[in-house]
Homo-oligomer: A and B are copies of this chain.
Amino acid sequence: MEYEQLKLKSQLCFRLYTAARLTVGAYHPYLDPLGITYPQYLVLLVLWEQDKQPVCDIAKRLMLDTNTVTPLLQRMEKSGLLLRTKGKTDTRQRIVSLTEKGLTMREQAKHIPECLSASILEKMDPVEELAALVPALDKLIEGLSER
């Protein structure tokens, strides 16, 4: 059939797109009580690993551009999770630092990865398939991000 390749079921990207949406959705029960979104959670993960980073470093870790990250950080500043202060050595930079609220949220969030793993693993038996996913996604990301 001439258009066989245009069938939805043969599309890898649609699977990725759907899996990503559904997985982010699975975080809702845990992030809603904290009053944060999934992208905001990612920012917190980065800052919990290392506080006081310029916007561009956060963007690099998340593989996003500043035009996505800046408004995200502005909303997070507004909700009291972090501060954006002018850089001293490089005044173009905005150094992002966690507030007390942002820091203490780490404690409330520390069980989220386990909860998510549990609920995903519960539905992904056997584990081997899950394990196969990670290196394949890494390779895909690496390939698509290289320039």
Which residues of A approach B to under 8 Å, CB–CB? Answer: 2-3, 5-27, 38, 42, 45-46, 48-49, 61, 63, 106, 109-110, 112-114, 116-117, 120-124, 129-130, 132-146
- Apart from A20-B20, A129-B132: 16 A-B pairs, beta carbons within 8 A: A6-B114, A9-B120, A12-B130, A13-B27, A15-B138, A16-B16, A18-B137, A23-B144, A25-B144, A123-B142, A123-B146, A124-B136, A124-B139, A132-B132, A132-B133, A133-B133
Does A137 contact B16, Cβ atoms closer than 8 Å? yes
Please give, as numbers and ranges, the residues of chain B lying within 8 Å of A143 by CB-CB distance.
Answer: 120, 122-124
Does B13 contact A23, Cβ atoms closer than 8 Å? yes
Please give, as numbers and ranges, the residues of chain B lying within 8 Å of A17 by CB-CB distance.
Answer: 20, 23-24, 38, 42
Does B141 contact A8, Cβ atoms closer than 8 Å? no
Does A42 contact B23, Cβ atoms closer than 8 Å? no
